[in-house]
Amino acid sequence: MQEDLAVQRSKVVHRKFVRSKFVLKIWKYRALYAMLSPGILYYLIFKYLPMFGIIVAFKEYNITKGILSSPWADPWYKYFEVFVSSPYFSQLLTNTLLISLYKLIFGMIPPIILAILLNECRVSWFKRFIQTLSYMPHFLSWVIIYGILIALLSQDSGLFNRWIVEAGGKAIPFLTSESWFRSILVSSDIWQNMGWGAIIYLAAIAGIDPSLYEAATMDGCKRIRLIWHVTLPNLRSIITILLILRLGSIMDAGFEQIYVLYNSYVYSVGDIIDTWVFRTGLEQLNFSLAASVGLFKSIIGCILVLLSNRIAKRWGEGIW
């Protein structure tokens, strides 16, 4: 009995010690925690608290009754079944995955190449000019980019089609053609985000130890060899992290871009899960269906992040 009391007392003392140590650590780094607090509050308010709304996916949600008063769906997986049994499910899933994979595969390399070229540029004013010019499209909305694409690719008055017609060819319906639509999506996404993505790689390159370049130069490496043997190996970790993060959002093929650019002519190749949910769920106020599809996407994304991180850890990389 006395031994049990002694063990309990020691546990209490240990908890108090750990707690006081934790408080002292927070106080020691209070400035850093104060800087971190806006980001924590943002995720708490806009990411974690809204997760309470997940239960809408399992209810016959009625906007007048609210989340808690709405009756539960019977069966509980009713709206998941509605989505999976939809005649458009396979087409929507295929389009979403293909567009996301195209953006992932073709969108990862250009920012790396641009960052390396900017790093190798020795004319400072030209480097700053190209860098500014390359990341400016990131701040343009897809509505504005759509206007630019209309001016360039419109079948009737687009600049490219004028050149084709003047050269004796036939105008191509770039924006309404099933064979061209995905290419337009991927290329415009690369154009918008290439410069912004290059900033991350430039920051990583700036953190490479200069002595590595000096040692490689002493060994006779020229600029191409320096890039291959020093720059790229040191970018491996940041490339892996960004790849894992992008895999987590592979079910988000870019709703805003596709919703602005697509039309009824390209539904078969451009209609993704998010656009279908917007049409059949939100426009018809079927919030339960929209929530269930959102939960389905989140689960798939979480699984992909966990798997990709485990694979990356075997190569000596990973987020955690």
Q: C-alpha angle with apex 227: 223 to 230, nearest 5 degrees?
A: 115
Using the 8-state DSSP alphabet, how is residue 45 labeled?
A: I
Q: How many beta carbons lie within 10 A of that of residue 302, not counting itself?
A: 11
**pLDDT for 30:** 83
Which CATH number does the domain 59-314 belong to among 1.10.150.120, 1.10.3720.10, 1.10.1740.10, 3.40.50.800? Answer: 1.10.3720.10
Q: Is the dihedral of CA 206, 212, 215, 217 positive or negative?
A: negative
- Dist. CA 163–CA 314, nearest whole Å: 52
pLDDT attached to residue 95: 92
Please report the pLDDT score of residue 224 as a whole number.
Answer: 86
Between CA 178 and CA 156 the distance in angstroms is 18
Q: What are 253's two structure tokens?
A: 């093929």
Q: Omega before 75 cis (within 30°)? A: yes
The answer to whether 152 and 160 have CB atoms below 8 angstroms apart is yes
Percent of the chain that is helix, strand, coil (3-state, to 5)? 80, 0, 20
How far apart are alpha carbons 184 and 161 in whole angstroms?
15
Query: So what's the pLDDT on residue 5?
Result: 55
The rounded distance, in Å, linking the Cα atoms of 318 and 191 is 28
Residue for token digits 């005649």?
A: 87
- What pTM did the predictor assign? 0.83
- Residue count of the chain, please give it: 320
List average pLDDT for each run of 10 residues in the chain, which is 320 residues long. 55 58 79 89 89 88 86 88 88 92 91 91 88 90 92 89 90 90 93 91 89 86 87 88 84 89 88 87 84 88 85 73
In one-letter notation, the amino acid at residue 271 is: D
Q: How far apart are CA 112 and CA 204, in angstroms?
A: 11
**Spans of all domains in the chain:** 1-54, 59-314
d(CA 301, CA 307): 10
Instruction: Give the Cα separation of 320 and 317 in Å (integer).
Output: 9
159 by Cβ neighbours in 10 Å (0-12 / 13-18 / 19+) ranks as exposed
- pLDDT on residue 8: 61
Per-residue confidence (pLDDT) for residue 28, from 0 to 100: 83
Query: Which residue is listed with tokens 């006779």?
Result: 220
Q: How far apart are CA 200 and CA 30, in angstroms?
A: 28
